[in-house]
Amino acid sequence: MSRVLLPTLGATTDNALSKPTATFGASNGVPLDVYVSKNQVLSRVVIELLGLDPWKLAFARNKYERLEKAWVSACWLVIGLGIPVLVQLGLRKRKTQQLAKRFHLSNNASPLKISFTKLGKAASLHDFKTAVSHATKKNTGTASFVRPLSHHALQGLKTSVRQTKMGIMVLDLLFMGLNGQLANWGKNWITKQLAGTESFSGYIGYTSSGFQEKQATQYKKEKNWRMMGSLISGVIGVASFPLLFAATLNHKGATGLGKLKKMIPHFDYTDAIYMSKWLIAWHGFFNFVVPGMFASRDKHELREHLSSMGALYFFFFVGDSIFSGMAAKRFGKKLQQTLPNIPLYKHVTLGPLRIPWGVPLHNIQQQSQTLRPHVKKEIMKLGRSNFWTGIITTALGLGISTTLINNWFTRKKIQAQQTKQAAHVSQWLDKLNSRPTNTA
């Protein structure tokens, strides 16, 4: 893996260092877009609200499909994200207070922010103690112990933090599991109640009721066992990941599960509340992709579901990084003689391909702290351009192109299917009419 750097210029250690300034929408003194870059849940919500939900609703083929899309989005934003975040805000505050009181931590300590990499049973206790001092409520200053802890007490703090963070993860998975089941099966129920049919809502309006009912025949026969399969997939998704993650976290040695330890940082939470997008990806497979397959009412809905999920996994989880990397590679060259030695993108090798991968905006912001104000302004301007290019390109690609292609292709397939059926009926009638009739 290689990376392209911009030449060094403007680093300084004198009084001309840039100072934090008040910024609209800042979170703990961090500009809003930088915080969105750091917070993988918020960045996914931005993609969804900018480029997925509006276009899904705008391009819905009828009112029933529009209601289904609105229901699925509402389930995700309220049950999958909103309620867990609100619950965990209160949980984080209460558990932080309990840990501070029990283990004599200073008031500004926030031990739940400690990375999972410091919490495994095999992780160094010294490294954990150091991590405690850097985990503070406002990400400034240092935390400390009101009085020294014994080795046993420090180990107890480490275990308590690990168990609490694992509990938060399980809570997220439970809510997301509920969201996935309600979203996929709830949309089918809504259309059945309002339209009086169990067929796919996508072609209501340009197909006959007879055609719709025929398409839904197999779904109606198999619905009960399909719902069971969907629930089993959800349980597997909720239960298996915490078990696998805990086993990897506590594994000693570099063999077996130890090889997976390098992936642990990718599942760290932001501010001990907002989950990693890779945890969302795990949930998405077991509690949305698979249940959506079971809940598909015919082959056309199944095809649309799988193509949408394929596009979502690309755009939602890696698309913005690739597009921001492409922007950095293109626009960064023009300013490489005047900008400092800060990487704006790196190359990720995937087989014969070398893909430009954008460096997160919050990493660029952290590395630019020691620069002179005017230089920092330039590097952050370019970083923001790359970041929003990735977000907007991803949003438009996911929301517009995928939706329109699905709509067009399904209509084309339905029309071909109806034409073929009409031809068969016509042939049957011709044969029937061509039979000789007995005359008295």
Mean pLDDT computed over 224-248: 93
Cα–Cα distances (Å) from 63 to 56, 168, 169, in that order, read 12, 38, 37
For the ranges 211-220, 222-231, 233-242, 348-357, which has the lowest average pLDDT? 348-357
pLDDT average, residue stretch 59-74: 94
The most confident of the ranges 30-34, 214-218, 375-379 is 214-218
Read off φ and ψ for residue 144, nearest 5 degrees: -150, 170
Site of tokens 């999972």: 116
Interaxial angle between packed helices 277-284 and 217-250, expressed in degrees from 0 to 180 and rounded to the nearest 10? 140
C-alpha–C-alpha distance, residues 268 and 136, integer Å? 16
Q: Residue 425: its pLDDT value, please?
A: 59
Q: What is the pLDDT of residue 24?
A: 35
Residue whose pair of structure tokens reads 């090798």 in the numeric block? 349
* Helical H segments across 251-347, by residue range: 277-284, 290-295, 299-314, 320-332
Inter-residue contact 56 to 396 (CB < 8 Å): no
Q: Which of 95-104, 387-396, 420-429 has the lowest mean pLDDT?
A: 420-429
pLDDT at 100 over 70: yes
Contact status, residue 427 vs residue 220, Cβ threshold 8 Å:
no
Task: Specify the higher pLDDT residue, 334 or 2.
Answer: 334
- In whole angstroms, give the CA distance from residue 175 to residue 317: 20
**pLDDT given at position 70:** 95
Amino acid at 175: F
Which of residues 324 and 146 earns the better pLDDT score? 324
**Exposure of 85 in the CB half-sphere (CA atoms within 13 A):** 17
Q: Identity (one letter) of the amino acid at 289?
A: V
Average pLDDT over residues 314-330: 80
Confidence class of residue 435 from pLDDT cuts 50, 70 and 90?
low
Whole-number Å distance between alpha carbons of 270 and 256:
28
- Per-chain mean pLDDT for the chain: 81
Residue 336 above 90 pLDDT? no
Residue 418 has pLDDT above 80, yes or no: no
Q: pLDDT of 8-33, one tens digit each?
A: 333 333 333 334 343 433 444 567 77
Query: What is the C-alpha separation between 245 and 386, in angstroms, rounded?
Result: 33
pLDDT bracket for residue 191 (50, 70, 90): very high
Residue 29, pLDDT score: 54
Q: How confident is the model at residue 436 (pLDDT cuts 50, 70, 90)?
A: low
Is the pLDDT assigned to residue 419 strictly greater than 70? yes
How much of the chain, in percent, has pLDDT values that exceed 90?
29
Question: What pLDDT, on the 0 to 100 scale, is given for residue 200?
Answer: 94
Characterize 303-340 residue by residue with b for buried, 16 or more Cβ atoms within 10 angstroms of its Cβ, and e for exposed: ebbeebbebbeebbbbbbbbbbbbbbbeebeeeeeebb
C-beta separation of 154 from 260 below 8 A: no
Average pLDDT over residues 26-47: 71
State pLDDT tens for residues 140-188. Answer: 667 677 777 788 889 999 999 999 999 999 998 999 899 999 999 999 9
Rounded CA-CA distance 44/316 in Å is 7
Q: pTM for the complete prediction?
A: 0.80
* Structural tokens at position 32: 């809003």
Q: Which of 4-18, 135-149, 309-323 has the lowest mean pLDDT?
A: 4-18
pLDDT digits (tens, 9 = 90+) for 270-302: 777 788 888 888 888 999 999 999 999 999 999
Give 243's pLDDT tier (boundaries 50, 70, 90). Answer: very high
